[in-house]
Each structure stands twice: as structure tokens, then as C-alpha cells.
Structure 1
Amino acid sequence: MREKPQSPPRPRATILCIQEGRVLLVRKKGGKWNLPGGTVEKNEHPMAAALRELREETKLRLTALNTAGTLDIGDTRHLVFTTEVTPGTNAQANNEIEDCRWFDADQLKKKPVKDSAIALLNAFLRQWLEAPSTS
């Protein structure tokens, strides 16, 4: 019996937004907190997808991001981007997103966060997660 070929991971643009030591998370109605991002459309550049998703979900209108790397989690290939957001810049929940907030590492540990978001934060922001609170 031949094994079914495994389909390639679905590409997802994922953005780690940091503002004054806090990370931005989004939440759909009834869902867990997650990092902003979404599907990279056919023929779309991953950074363009990340900027589009960030604008669609949080109304943040950025023009560039830093490429951090990739991480496969389950059937998703996360194309990870980072950015430092200017202090005082507000993110607003938009479209399917019910809420978006900035969390410090201690607050994040007390929230229901998607396992994939925790894995991405561990992979790309481990030092931030392990830092003791300064409050």
C-alpha cells in the first residue's frame, strides 16, 4: 500500500509586534489569544501578507517589518516577522478580531493563549518571555 503524499504546510504570515516590552495579541470571538497574522494568498509576497493581515486585524498601518524566520507547527508554516511599534500607537480590533491588546510577559502567562503562539514566542522571543517583570 502506498502512503499518501504529505501536503506541504500552509503558509501563514505571523507578526510579533513589540511596544515598550509588551507583545500584541489578538482574539476572535470565543477564541484564545493569538499573534496577528493569516494566510499568504497565492502570488502574494509573505511580507505583503503580513502587512495586510496586521492592517486588517488591528488597523496598524506599517510599511515594513523585519524577517525573523520560519517555523512549522502542525500543518502550518509560520513566516515570522517582527516590528517595534512606536509607543502610544494604538491597535484596534477589526474584522473578525473581537479584541487586541498589548501584554507583558507576566500578563501573558495568565491568559488563554494558543499553543502555536506560545511556541512562536518561545522560538523568537524566548528572552522576552523569561524576563522578570519590571513592574
Structure 2
Amino acid sequence: MYLTDSLRELIAGRLGRFEQRGLSATDSRRAAVALALIEEGTGALLPGIDAPTAWSRSAAVLLTRRSARLRNHPGQWALPGGSIDDSESPEQAALRELHEEVGLRLEETSILGRLDDFVTRSGFSITPIVVWAGEARELEPSASEVASIHRIPVSEFMRADAPWLDPIEDSEQPVLRMPVGLTWIAAPTAAFIYQFREVCIAGRTTRVAHFEQPMFARQ
């Protein structure tokens, strides 16, 4: 799957027809994340994922590993994002965080649409914004927030063994994880990626807000 104009039109069209569900919870803080479609390029390697032999135009999702020095969710997989300022829309916040965390500045014309909100156990109501990032060859991780930047091929998220659904003692709903190479990503990030796969690539309306997070992601 290549990052082409036809793919952009396909995803924008499916998001345009998708009935996005906004959620809120008492005392939750509003946040936004950017699910950025980007060329695979030569991003940081992961066990079990082959590196491209040259700069690749295959479609990928931009992910980060959070800095181990952060107070909240240190070292975890994440989409670039953070709290929404009072004067911002979720789209504006997602683009701002994308620039602050990985040095990628995009215009509002790059926005393709929204996926469903997800209320986390740690007290955030997160709106995922799907954006078109193109080549984005020059990325720079924020020294204070990001340990590493990764371009994960979209094909990796289409694996037949995904998602993984694990029972957890304190909830009737399972924990959702997405396998990546020889490792995995947990909800809420995994929930956004899974819904992106289902809605934007497979063309299936799939809800994810009910899935649980593992205990370590609730802090």
C-alpha cells in the first residue's frame, strides 16, 4: 500500500461518511492525538519488522516512544498528542503537538477527519485526528518528551492475528492490544490504530471506546 493521492481520497471519503462519536466523562481533561499517515522511509527499526532497502513510499503510521523521564506514561508507545488548550479545537491541538513532539509542521488542509473519542482510565477524553503527512523526511524528536520516532507500515496493522483481546479482572471488557513486529501496543493508542485500520483501510464501522487499558497504562 503506497502513500498516493488515491489513498488520501479513499481515507478522507470514509472518514467523511463515518459517524464519529464524541465522549466525555466527569472531571476528564480534553486531549487530542495525531494519527499521521506518512511515508515509511527509513524509520527506527523494531524486532520482527524488516527495514526498507531504500526510502520507501509505502504508507506508514507515525508513532513515538515516550521519554522515560516523563511523569505520565513514561516509555510507552504513543501517537503525538496532548492536552487541548482552551482556545483550541482538537484539530489545532493535534497539529500543534505534532510539531512540538516530532518537528513536523502541517497545515489544516492535511486533516482527513476524526475517529471516535476514547476516555482513558488516567482521566483524559482523547480525540484522534487523522492527518496526511506525506514524506516528512526531516523529523526531530522533542528532547523532553520523545525517546524515539517510528514509521510503522500500515500493512503491519492489517495482520490477521490483530487485535489481541485479553481478559482483565476488574472489567467485563477485554484489554485491546495491537501486535507490531515481535512486540505490541496497548490501548488507548492500540484502540486508535485498530479503528483506523477498520474504518479507513478496511471500510468497516468498528467501535473501540469500550475496550480496556492494561493496568500500567492507567497511571
Measure the CA separation in 1 of the matches of 2:133 and 2:140: 14
Equivalences, count: 125
Shift of 1:10: 1.9
Measure the CA separation in 2 of the matches of 1:48 and 1:128: 21
TM-score by length of 1: 0.77
Shift of 1:24: 0.4
Alignment check: 8 A CA contact 1:28 1:99 kept: yes
5+ long unaligned stretches in structure 2 = 1-24, 39-57, 69-74, 157-178, 203-219
Q: 2:139 aligns with which of 80, 87, 91?
A: 91
Q: How does 1:106-117 map to 2 (within 5 A)?
A: 106=156, 108-117=180-189
Give the fraction of aligned pairs with identical amino acids, expressed as a percent. Answer: 23
1:60 aligned counterpart, secondary structure: coil
Shift of 1:45: 2.1
Q: 2:37 matched to 1:18?
A: yes
Looking at both structures, which has the greater relative contact order when contacts are Cα pairs under 8 Å and sequence separation is at least 6?
Answer: 1
Q: In structure 2, what is the equivalent of residue 119 of structure 1?
A: 191
Go from structure 1 to structure 2 and tell me whether the alpha carbon gap of 1:46 and 1:69 turns closer, same or farther (over 3 Å shift). Answer: same
Q: In structure 2, what is the equivalent of residue 34 of structure 1?
A: 78
Equivalent AA in structure 2 for residue 85 of structure 1: A
Q: How does 1:57-72 map to 2 (within 5 A)?
A: 57-64=101-108, 65-72=111-118
1:70 aligned counterpart, secondary structure: coil
Equivalent AA in structure 2 for residue 68 of structure 1: R
Equivalent AA in structure 2 for residue 119 of structure 1: A
5+ long unaligned stretches in structure 1 = 1-5, 131-135
2:196 aligned counterpart, secondary structure: helix
1:92 aligned counterpart, secondary structure: coil
Equivalent AA in structure 2 for residue 47 of structure 1: E
Q: 2:86 matched to 1:50?
A: no
Greater alpha carbon shift after TM alignment, 100-109 vs 44-53: 100-109
TM-score by length of 2: 0.50
Equivalent AA in structure 2 for residue 99 of structure 1: S
Q: 2:130 aligns with which of 75, 79, 82?
A: 82
Equivalent AA in structure 1 for residue 180 of structure 2: L
Equivalent AA in structure 1 for residue 81 of structure 2: G
Go from structure 1 to structure 2 and tell me whether the alpha carbon gap of 1:53 and 1:101 turns closer, same or farther (over 3 Å shift). Answer: same
